[in-house]
Amino acid sequence: MSNQIARKYVKALMKSFDDNELKDVFNALETLSYACGLKKFSNIIDSPDIDSKKREEFILSLNEKKSEKYINFLKLLSQNNRLNLIPEICDELKYQEAVKSNQFSGLIMSDFDITAEKINALEESFSKKFNSTIKLTKADAQYPGIKVKIDDLGLEVSFSLERLKAQMSEYILKAI
């Protein structure tokens, strides 16, 4: 439900701001989204003891020198008790910008080293497959094989060494 509400706010943001303003809004929301992950910050936002006007003033004090439209957006979130949706709004805005620019990012997880050339080859093949620009980054993970995950496209491809061994054993046993 909250994801649908965040989507509506993002749709309004995308209609109200041009591309350059939207980048500034995203950067500001990303900072607030990070802050929402902090326990003290979320206690202030969610506290029933703090007046909504004080909460609004607190949020606005964190956003100095921003456009009037952005300030009004934050006031609207505050008046509708939706400040806790800032991380979801930020994620949805990031996704919508990725769709609009046809550029997506993903992760490569593996327990062994992958060279930059191999990462570039994977990026090129995924880019060609999805007719978009794909940027992959290596994430440190204890995965026995390779896993490529691109959340915005709903893609997860994995090659597990354990699964390969199990399939080879099964094939050999069937052949005997």
Query: Which residues fall within 8 angstroms of residue 5, CB to CB, at 6 or more apart?
Result: 82, 85
Residue 88 has a pLDDT of 92
Which pTM was predicted? 0.71
> CA 119, CA 73: separation in Å to the nearest integer?
40
Q: Note down pLDDT in tens along the chain; length 176 residues.
A: 678 888 898 898 888 888 888 888 888 888 888 888 888 888 888 888 888 888 888 888 887 767 888 888 888 888 888 888 899 999 898 888 888 888 888 888 888 788 888 888 888 988 998 888 889 888 877 777 788 888 888 888 887 777 777 777 787 878 77
Q: What are phi and psi of 29, to 5 degrees?
A: -70, -35
Radius of gyration of the chain from its Cα atoms, rounded to whole angstroms: 22
Domain boundaries, the chain: 2-98, 102-175
Are 9 and 29 within 8 A, CB to CB? no
* Token reading at 11: 């749709």
158 close to 148: Cβ distance less than 8 angstroms: yes
Cross-sheet strand order for the sheet of 155-160: 133-140, 103-110, 145-150, 155-160
| Domain made up of 102-175: CATH architecture | 2-Layer Sandwich (3.30)
- Tell me how far apart the alpha carbons of residues 58 and 54 are, in angstroms, rounded to a whole number: 6
Provide the pLDDT for residue 116.
85
Query: Residue 3: what pLDDT?
Result: 81
DSSP 176: -
Pick the CATH number of 2-98 from 3.30.1490.70, 3.40.50.300, 1.10.1040.10, 1.10.520.20: 1.10.520.20
- Residue 1: its pLDDT value, please? 64
Q: Pull the structure tokens for residue 118.
A: 């191999």
